Amino acid sequence: MVPSRLRRTAAFALFTLALSACSSQPGPTVGGGDTAAPGSVSSPLVGKRWNLLLVGTSDRLSMPQKPYFEVASDGSVSGSDGCNRFTGTVSFGDSQRIDFGELTATRMACANPQGAQQVRDMLDNAYRYLIDHDRLVFFGPNSLVLGGFRDAS
């Protein structure tokens, strides 16, 4: 007998995959594309603040500060994992492909270092994304849900 949490997780993953297949948003453009100026990136993620909702499909983290990230039009990313500030780069590709590159973070003492690491791991492992209204979901290379954020702009 399959535990109810596993069934809910599987149902959520199937639902989000079905939504991604039906996505009506155009794919983002990598620098130098038709709608992006040279050296800039174009994506629905750019210019917004994304606050963490969940890690995985149901884990809410208790952190000293709300984890978030922001993507600038030059492809730089900055934010907080809930304890430490981080910076890095991000690139976008066809079919909602995303790649966070070389994230570096401060190393301050943290009440929940495992939670902070989970947030950074989610960004490091993000392969694709899906936006549904004000929600952003990251998927790994194996199409499993890594977690979700909400547009706080």
**CATH code, domain carrying 97:** 2.40.128.270
- The CA distances from residue 13 to 2, 9, 18, 135, 147, in Å, are 16, 6, 9, 15, 11
Percent of the chain with pLDDT over 90: 58
* Mean pLDDT along residues 82-106: 94
Task: Work out whether strand 49-55 and strand 145-151 pair parallel, antiparallel, or are unpaired.
Answer: antiparallel
Mention every residue, 6+ apart, whose C-beta is less than 8 A from residue 79: 50, 67, 68, 69, 70, 85, 86
Domain count, the chain: 1
DSSP bridge pairs for 131: 136
Residue 30 pLDDT level (bands cut at 50, 70, 90)? very low
Q: What is the pTM for the complete model shown?
A: 0.73
* Mean pLDDT along residues 120-149: 96
Residue 19 pLDDT level (bands cut at 50, 70, 90)? very low
Contact yes or no for 130/96 (Cβ under 8 A)? yes
Of the candidates 106, 100, 137, 107, which has an alpha carbon nearest to the alpha carbon of residue 121? 100
**What confidence score (pLDDT) does residue 131 get?**
96
How many CA atoms lie within 13 Å of 101's alpha carbon, on the beta-carbon side? 6
Residue 39 has pLDDT above 80, yes or no: no
Domain enclosing residue 66, as ranges:
4-151
